[in-house]
Amino acid sequence: MLRHRIRLLCFASLASVALAASVAPAAAADAYDPWPGLVQDIFNNRPMNDGSDVIGIEMPARAEDAAIVPVTLRTKLSPGDNRRIKTITLVIDQNPAPMAAKFTLGPDANVTEISTRVRVNNYTDVHAVAELSDGKLYVTKVYVKASGGCSAPAVKDAEEAKNRLGQMRYRQFARPEQGPASNIREAQIMIGHPNNSGLQMDQVTHLYIPAFFINEVQLWQDDSPVLAMEGGISISEDPNIRFTYVSNGAKHFRAEAKDTDGHVFQHEWNADASGT
Protein backbone atom coordinates (compact mmCIF):
# COMPACT_ATOMS: atom_id res chain seq x y z
CA MET A 1 0.00 0.00 0.00
CA LEU A 2 2.71 2.42 1.00
CA ARG A 3 4.72 1.39 -2.05
CA HIS A 4 1.74 2.06 -4.23
CA ARG A 5 1.35 5.56 -2.82
CA ILE A 6 5.00 6.34 -3.31
CA ARG A 7 4.75 5.45 -6.90
CA LEU A 8 1.76 7.69 -7.41
CA LEU A 9 3.50 10.58 -5.70
CA CYS A 10 6.59 10.11 -7.77
CA PHE A 11 4.64 10.14 -10.93
CA ALA A 12 2.71 13.19 -9.85
CA SER A 13 5.78 15.16 -8.86
CA LEU A 14 7.73 14.24 -11.96
CA ALA A 15 4.81 15.10 -14.14
CA SER A 16 4.27 18.47 -12.52
CA VAL A 17 7.95 19.37 -12.80
CA ALA A 18 7.98 18.44 -16.45
CA LEU A 19 4.80 20.39 -17.02
CA ALA A 20 6.10 23.52 -15.31
CA ALA A 21 9.34 23.37 -17.21
CA SER A 22 7.80 22.94 -20.58
CA VAL A 23 4.36 24.40 -21.03
CA ALA A 24 5.49 28.00 -21.00
CA PRO A 25 8.05 27.89 -23.82
CA ALA A 26 6.00 25.55 -25.99
CA ALA A 27 2.92 27.74 -25.73
CA ALA A 28 4.99 30.86 -26.28
CA ALA A 29 6.53 29.41 -29.43
CA ASP A 30 3.11 28.77 -30.90
CA ALA A 31 1.77 32.19 -30.04
CA TYR A 32 4.85 34.14 -31.04
CA ASP A 33 4.68 35.50 -34.57
CA PRO A 34 8.12 36.55 -35.79
CA TRP A 35 6.78 38.23 -38.93
CA PRO A 36 6.43 41.82 -37.62
CA GLY A 37 10.02 41.67 -36.40
CA LEU A 38 11.15 40.26 -39.73
CA VAL A 39 9.39 43.05 -41.62
CA GLN A 40 11.42 45.43 -39.53
CA ASP A 41 14.73 43.60 -39.84
CA ILE A 42 14.60 42.56 -43.48
CA PHE A 43 12.36 45.22 -45.03
CA ASN A 44 13.06 48.19 -42.82
CA ASN A 45 9.38 48.33 -41.82
CA ARG A 46 8.25 49.34 -45.29
CA PRO A 47 4.50 48.94 -45.82
CA MET A 48 3.40 45.52 -47.04
CA ASN A 49 0.65 45.36 -49.66
CA ASP A 50 -1.48 42.34 -50.43
CA GLY A 51 0.46 40.38 -53.01
CA SER A 52 -2.04 37.64 -53.79
CA ASP A 53 -2.46 39.00 -57.33
CA VAL A 54 1.26 39.58 -57.76
CA ILE A 55 3.11 36.50 -56.62
CA GLY A 56 2.30 32.91 -55.71
CA ILE A 57 4.21 30.47 -53.51
CA GLU A 58 3.85 26.75 -54.09
CA MET A 59 5.13 24.47 -51.38
CA PRO A 60 3.95 21.12 -50.04
CA ALA A 61 1.71 21.53 -46.97
CA ARG A 62 4.13 19.31 -45.11
CA ALA A 63 7.88 19.30 -45.53
CA GLU A 64 8.52 15.70 -46.55
CA ASP A 65 12.26 15.99 -46.16
CA ALA A 66 13.33 18.78 -43.83
CA ALA A 67 16.53 19.25 -45.83
CA ILE A 68 14.94 19.49 -49.27
CA VAL A 69 11.59 21.25 -49.48
CA PRO A 70 10.69 22.32 -53.03
CA VAL A 71 9.37 25.85 -53.41
CA THR A 72 8.12 27.53 -56.57
CA LEU A 73 7.56 31.28 -56.90
CA ARG A 74 5.29 32.25 -59.75
CA THR A 75 4.55 35.77 -60.89
CA LYS A 76 0.86 36.55 -61.33
CA LEU A 77 0.98 39.95 -62.99
CA SER A 78 -1.26 40.01 -66.05
CA PRO A 79 0.47 40.52 -69.40
CA GLY A 80 -1.11 43.98 -69.66
CA ASP A 81 0.25 45.12 -66.31
CA ASN A 82 2.99 47.65 -66.94
CA ARG A 83 4.62 47.02 -63.59
CA ARG A 84 7.57 44.65 -63.37
CA ILE A 85 8.80 42.49 -60.53
CA LYS A 86 12.29 43.61 -59.57
CA THR A 87 13.02 41.33 -56.63
CA ILE A 88 11.40 38.50 -54.71
CA THR A 89 12.48 37.79 -51.15
CA LEU A 90 11.69 34.40 -49.68
CA VAL A 91 11.37 34.29 -45.89
CA ILE A 92 10.94 31.13 -43.79
CA ASP A 93 9.76 32.75 -40.59
CA GLN A 94 10.63 30.06 -38.03
CA ASN A 95 14.00 29.03 -39.46
CA PRO A 96 17.18 29.98 -37.58
CA ALA A 97 18.06 32.28 -40.49
CA PRO A 98 14.64 33.29 -41.84
CA MET A 99 15.75 35.13 -44.98
CA ALA A 100 16.22 32.21 -47.32
CA ALA A 101 16.89 34.03 -50.56
CA LYS A 102 16.49 37.28 -52.38
CA PHE A 103 16.06 36.91 -56.12
CA THR A 104 16.75 39.82 -58.44
CA LEU A 105 15.02 39.40 -61.79
CA GLY A 106 16.89 40.59 -64.87
CA PRO A 107 15.14 43.66 -66.31
CA ASP A 108 14.92 42.17 -69.79
CA ALA A 109 14.69 38.46 -68.95
CA ASN A 110 10.98 38.29 -68.06
CA VAL A 111 11.46 35.61 -65.42
CA THR A 112 8.00 34.38 -64.42
CA GLU A 113 8.77 31.25 -62.42
CA ILE A 114 11.56 30.35 -59.99
CA SER A 115 11.88 27.00 -58.22
CA THR A 116 14.43 26.13 -55.59
CA ARG A 117 14.74 23.92 -52.50
CA VAL A 118 14.92 25.02 -48.93
CA ARG A 119 15.37 23.67 -45.44
CA VAL A 120 12.40 23.88 -43.12
CA ASN A 121 13.16 23.46 -39.43
CA ASN A 122 9.76 23.98 -37.90
CA TYR A 123 6.09 24.59 -38.42
CA THR A 124 6.25 27.93 -40.15
CA ASP A 125 4.78 30.62 -42.32
CA VAL A 126 6.72 31.14 -45.52
CA HIS A 127 6.47 34.62 -47.00
CA ALA A 128 7.32 35.84 -50.48
CA VAL A 129 7.76 39.58 -50.80
CA ALA A 130 7.89 41.06 -54.29
CA GLU A 131 9.23 44.52 -54.93
CA LEU A 132 7.64 45.96 -58.03
CA SER A 133 8.77 48.69 -60.35
CA ASP A 134 6.15 50.91 -58.67
CA GLY A 135 8.47 50.89 -55.65
CA LYS A 136 6.02 49.03 -53.44
CA LEU A 137 6.30 45.69 -51.62
CA TYR A 138 3.69 42.97 -52.10
CA VAL A 139 3.50 39.98 -49.79
CA THR A 140 1.90 36.58 -49.86
CA LYS A 141 2.37 33.55 -47.62
CA VAL A 142 1.82 29.83 -47.15
CA TYR A 143 2.03 27.65 -44.06
CA VAL A 144 4.27 24.60 -44.02
CA LYS A 145 4.37 21.86 -41.41
CA ALA A 146 7.74 20.52 -40.40
CA SER A 147 8.64 17.03 -41.47
CA GLY A 148 8.12 14.06 -39.21
CA GLY A 149 10.36 11.08 -38.69
CA CYS A 150 14.12 11.13 -38.78
CA SER A 151 14.69 13.65 -41.54
CA ALA A 152 16.76 16.65 -40.55
CA PRO A 153 17.71 19.91 -42.27
CA ALA A 154 21.26 18.64 -42.61
CA VAL A 155 23.49 17.16 -45.26
CA LYS A 156 22.73 13.47 -45.95
CA ASP A 157 26.07 12.35 -47.28
CA ALA A 158 28.70 14.72 -45.99
CA GLU A 159 31.60 13.22 -47.98
CA GLU A 160 29.71 13.38 -51.25
CA ALA A 161 28.75 16.99 -50.53
CA LYS A 162 32.44 17.84 -50.15
CA ASN A 163 33.30 15.98 -53.35
CA ARG A 164 30.77 17.99 -55.31
CA LEU A 165 32.01 21.34 -54.07
CA GLY A 166 31.99 23.86 -56.87
CA GLN A 167 30.64 21.56 -59.58
CA MET A 168 28.04 23.27 -61.75
CA ARG A 169 25.38 21.85 -64.03
CA TYR A 170 23.22 23.66 -66.54
CA ARG A 171 20.16 22.22 -68.21
CA GLN A 172 17.59 23.48 -70.69
CA PHE A 173 14.08 22.01 -70.58
CA ALA A 174 11.55 21.85 -73.37
CA ARG A 175 8.45 23.85 -72.43
CA PRO A 176 5.09 22.53 -73.66
CA GLU A 177 4.19 25.94 -75.09
CA GLN A 178 7.59 26.24 -76.68
CA GLY A 179 7.03 26.09 -80.40
CA PRO A 180 9.84 26.71 -82.86
CA ALA A 181 9.05 30.42 -82.83
CA SER A 182 8.82 30.77 -79.05
CA ASN A 183 11.65 32.33 -77.17
CA ILE A 184 10.44 31.24 -73.73
CA ARG A 185 13.03 29.06 -72.05
CA GLU A 186 13.14 26.99 -68.90
CA ALA A 187 16.54 26.25 -67.45
CA GLN A 188 18.18 24.94 -64.30
CA ILE A 189 21.43 25.65 -62.54
CA MET A 190 22.85 23.26 -59.96
CA ILE A 191 25.80 24.14 -57.76
CA GLY A 192 27.54 21.48 -55.69
CA HIS A 193 27.94 22.83 -52.18
CA PRO A 194 27.22 21.50 -48.67
CA ASN A 195 25.69 24.84 -47.63
CA ASN A 196 26.52 24.21 -43.97
CA SER A 197 24.47 26.30 -41.64
CA GLY A 198 27.04 26.95 -38.96
CA LEU A 199 24.36 26.51 -36.33
CA GLN A 200 25.43 23.11 -35.05
CA MET A 201 27.78 22.78 -32.12
CA ASP A 202 30.51 20.19 -32.14
CA GLN A 203 29.71 17.96 -29.18
CA VAL A 204 33.34 17.33 -28.35
CA THR A 205 34.88 20.77 -28.75
CA HIS A 206 31.69 22.72 -28.03
CA LEU A 207 32.63 25.05 -30.85
CA TYR A 208 30.20 25.90 -33.57
CA ILE A 209 30.96 24.31 -36.91
CA PRO A 210 31.63 27.32 -39.12
CA ALA A 211 28.99 28.39 -41.60
CA PHE A 212 29.93 27.62 -45.16
CA PHE A 213 27.38 28.39 -47.81
CA ILE A 214 26.68 29.92 -51.21
CA ASN A 215 25.73 33.53 -50.64
CA GLU A 216 25.57 34.82 -54.18
CA VAL A 217 24.59 33.41 -57.55
CA GLN A 218 24.39 35.41 -60.78
CA LEU A 219 23.14 34.18 -64.13
CA TRP A 220 23.44 35.86 -67.51
CA GLN A 221 22.58 35.18 -71.13
CA ASP A 222 25.60 36.64 -72.84
CA ASP A 223 26.01 39.87 -70.84
CA SER A 224 22.37 40.41 -69.98
CA PRO A 225 21.43 39.48 -66.38
CA VAL A 226 18.73 36.83 -66.14
CA LEU A 227 18.51 36.14 -62.44
CA ALA A 228 20.56 36.66 -59.31
CA MET A 229 20.17 35.16 -55.87
CA GLU A 230 21.47 36.26 -52.52
CA GLY A 231 21.32 33.04 -50.57
CA GLY A 232 21.45 32.01 -46.97
CA ILE A 233 21.66 28.82 -44.97
CA SER A 234 18.00 28.00 -45.51
CA ILE A 235 18.81 27.04 -49.09
CA SER A 236 19.29 23.27 -49.36
CA GLU A 237 22.67 21.67 -49.99
CA ASP A 238 23.67 21.69 -53.65
CA PRO A 239 21.69 24.86 -54.44
CA ASN A 240 19.36 24.27 -57.36
CA ILE A 241 17.47 26.99 -59.25
CA ARG A 242 15.03 26.20 -62.03
CA PHE A 243 13.48 29.19 -63.78
CA THR A 244 11.82 30.49 -66.90
CA TYR A 245 13.07 33.41 -68.94
CA VAL A 246 12.85 34.85 -72.39
CA SER A 247 15.81 34.25 -74.63
CA ASN A 248 17.36 37.31 -76.22
CA GLY A 249 19.03 35.11 -78.80
CA ALA A 250 22.21 34.87 -76.76
CA LYS A 251 24.71 32.18 -77.67
CA HIS A 252 26.01 31.65 -74.15
CA PHE A 253 24.61 31.13 -70.70
CA ARG A 254 26.90 32.08 -67.84
CA ALA A 255 26.83 31.48 -64.09
CA GLU A 256 28.90 32.77 -61.23
CA ALA A 257 28.52 31.68 -57.61
CA LYS A 258 30.34 32.81 -54.51
CA ASP A 259 30.48 31.23 -51.08
CA THR A 260 31.25 32.48 -47.60
CA ASP A 261 34.83 31.24 -47.80
CA GLY A 262 35.52 33.48 -50.78
CA HIS A 263 35.41 30.75 -53.42
CA VAL A 264 34.18 31.94 -56.80
CA PHE A 265 32.71 29.31 -59.11
CA GLN A 266 32.19 30.28 -62.74
CA HIS A 267 30.95 28.43 -65.75
CA GLU A 268 29.69 29.15 -69.24
CA TRP A 269 27.63 26.97 -71.51
CA ASN A 270 26.19 27.00 -74.99
CA ALA A 271 22.79 28.56 -74.23
CA ASP A 272 20.72 25.89 -75.94
CA ALA A 273 22.64 22.88 -74.71
CA SER A 274 22.75 21.20 -71.34
CA GLY A 275 25.99 20.33 -69.68
CA THR A 276 28.35 20.22 -66.78
Partner 1 sequence: MAHGISVIALLLMLGASTIARAQEPELPVSEVAPGIFVHIGVTALMTRENEGAIANVGFIVGDSAVAVIDTGGSVREGRQLLAAVRKHTDKPIRYVINTHAHPDHSFGNAAFVDPGASFVGHKNLPRALTMRGQFYLDGFRRTMGDALIDEVRLVSPTVLVEDTLKLDLGGRSLTLKAWPPAHSDNDLTVFDERTKTLFAGDLVFLTHIPVVDGSLKGWLDALDELAAIPAERVVPGHGAVSKWPAALADERRYLNALAADVRALIASGKPITVAAETAAASERSRWQLFDDYNARNATAAFSEMEWE
Site for partner 1, rule CB under 8 A: 2, 5-7, 9-10, 13-15, 18-19, 21-22, 26, 58, 60, 64-68, 70, 72, 115, 117, 121-123, 146-160, 164, 167, 169, 171, 173-174, 190, 192, 200-204, 209, 236, 238, 240, 242
Q: Which is nearer to partner 1, 171 or 258 (CB)?
A: 171
| Smaller CB separation from partner 1, 149 or 262 | 149
Least Cβ distance, residue 215 to partner 1 (angstroms): 20
Residues with Cβ within 8 Å of 182's Cβ and at least 6 positions away in sequence, in order, are: 175
Can you tell me the distance from the alpha carbon of 268 to that of 276, in angstroms, rounded to the nearest whole number? 9
Pairing, β 48-50 against β 137-144: parallel
112 or 151: CB nearest partner 1: 151
Q: Residue 122 Cβ, how far from partner 1 at the closest point, in Å?
A: 8
Instruction: Choose between 221 and 244: whose C-beta lies nearer to partner 1.
Output: 244
For partner 1, which is the closer residue by CB, 10 or 273?
Answer: 10
Given the complex with partner 1, which of 115 and 224 has the nearer CB atom?
115
Q: Which of 135, 219, 216, 226 is nearest to 169 (CA)?
A: 219
Q: How far is CA 195 from CA 74, 93, 140, in A?
A: 25, 19, 27
- The nearest distance, CB 29 to partner 1, in angstroms, is 10
Q: How far is the CB of 157 from partner 1 (least distance, A)?
A: 4
Query: Going by C-beta distance under 8 Å and a sequence separation of 6 or more, which residues neighbour residue 177?
Result: 184
Q: Which is nearer to partner 1, 206 or 223 (CB)?
A: 206
For the bound state, the minimum distance from the C-beta of residue 123 to partner 1, rounded and expressed in Å, comes to 8
Whether the CA torsion 214, 161, 274, 268 is positive or negative: it is: positive
Q: Within its chain, how far is the Cα of 57 from the centroid? A: 11
